[in-house]
Amino acid sequence: MKRTLGTALVWLGNGLIGLAFLVVLTGIVSGWYMYGFTWVRETLSPFNLWNFIATMIVLLPGLCLRSGGHKLLDMARIDAARAQ
């Protein structure tokens, strides 16, 4: 049960991270198209705190699901080792 649920959570997390990557990439490409390279440079600046916060909000669900899935898989491996 733990192994199946852990695997499902990892796959779901990977899917959400992939979807978040596509959302961020679409935003960058559409911003470049509509406002030019200067807008992209300003938006992706390491000093732009709001962009960092927005990116983390988009990525966090997938990262949390992956982390929880890996913890469940580790617990399943420990349970399997104890059973032997």
CB 2 within 8 A of CB 76: yes
CA atoms within 13 A on the CB side of 23: 12
The two three-digit tokens of residue 13, written as one number:
């997390």
pLDDT for residue 26: 95
Domain boundaries, the chain: 2-79
Please give the Cα distance from 41 to 13 (Å, whole number).
29
- Model confidence band, residue 83 (pLDDT cutoffs 50, 70, 90): confident
pLDDT digits (tens, 9 = 90+) for 36-58: 999 999 988 889 999 999 999 99
Give the pair of three-digit tokens for residue 25.
Answer: 């990439």
> What's the CA gap between 74 and 57, in Å, rounded?
26
End-to-end C-alpha distance for the chain, whole angstroms: 18
